[in-house]
């Protein structure tokens, strides 16, 4: 987390993590866990929830009726953003469902109301839908990595080779190393 201005080098986090949210950790960039995109999902879900709450008076048809549903959607998005981590598959599934649902609801709400709403309301609904689209994309990428057991694993050159081919290649490499080692030991013995 960021220092937050309290001068203790990051242990206090006096900003509540807002600096990390907007600009990433100040000490060397964001953590990089291979095949894990939960940090992006978290930021996108929080952004979508903020847009939903802040601009709801500008894009709602009947605010009194729609606002409770907007609040519930924002609370769900923030809840899954807060729970997002690289260890729990169910949270990734939940974030995919929430972001996919938000995408469908806001895109349909924007398109079906196109002729009856102002251009500002239309653009705001679609902006929220696009943010949910990206959150859904990164949630699905993370879910795919969970299903393939790739979270935290680095890509390798032989990633797509069959296990038998890998084993055979390793055996050939070991034999070459042993021959090279024996050859260097043997040559020393002849010099003496």
**Domain boundaries in the chain?**
32-147, 156-192
pLDDT along the chain (192 residues), means of 10: 43 51 50 79 94 88 88 94 88 93 93 86 93 95 86 68 75 86 62 48
Residue 19 is predicted with a pLDDT of 52
Residue 146 is predicted with a pLDDT of 85
Residue 11 is predicted with a pLDDT of 45
Residue 163 is predicted with a pLDDT of 73
Residue 185 is predicted with a pLDDT of 59
Residue 6 is predicted with a pLDDT of 45
- Asked if residue 120 lies in contact with residue 59, where contact means CB atoms within 8 angstroms, the answer is yes
Residue 38 burial (CB count, 10 A): 24
- Asked if residue 21 lies in contact with residue 46, where contact means CB atoms within 8 angstroms, the answer is yes
Residue 169 is predicted with a pLDDT of 79
DSSP notation for 17-48: THHHHHH--TTTS----TT--HHHHHHHHHHH
Considering the entire predicted model, what is its pTM? 0.65
Name the token pair of 39: 């940090």
Residue 36 is predicted with a pLDDT of 81
């Amino acid at each position: 987390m960021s220092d937050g201005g309290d001068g203790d080098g990051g242990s206090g986090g006096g900003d509540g993590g807002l600096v990390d949210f907007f600009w990433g950790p100040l000490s060397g960039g964001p953590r990089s866990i291979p095949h894990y995109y939960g940090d992006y999902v978290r930021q996108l879900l929080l952004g979508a929830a903020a847009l939903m709450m802040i601009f709801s008076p500008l894009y709602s048809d009947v605010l009194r009726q729609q606002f409770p549903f907007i609040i519930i959607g924002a609370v769900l998005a923030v809840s899954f953003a807060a729970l997002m981590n690289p260890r729990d598959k169910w949270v990734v599934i939940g974030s995919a469902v929430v972001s996919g649902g938000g995408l469908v609801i806001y895109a349909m709400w924007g398109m079906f109301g196109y002729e009856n709403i102002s251009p500002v309301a239309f653009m705001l609904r679609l902006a929220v839908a696009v943010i949910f689209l990206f959150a859904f994309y990164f949630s699905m990428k993370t879910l795919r990595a969970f299903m393939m057991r790739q979270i935290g694993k680095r890509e390798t050159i032989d990633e797509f080779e069959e296990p038998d081919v890998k084993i055979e290649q390793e055996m050939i490499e070991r034999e070459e190393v042993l021959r090279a080692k024996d050859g260097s030991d043997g040559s020393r013995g002849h010099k003496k």
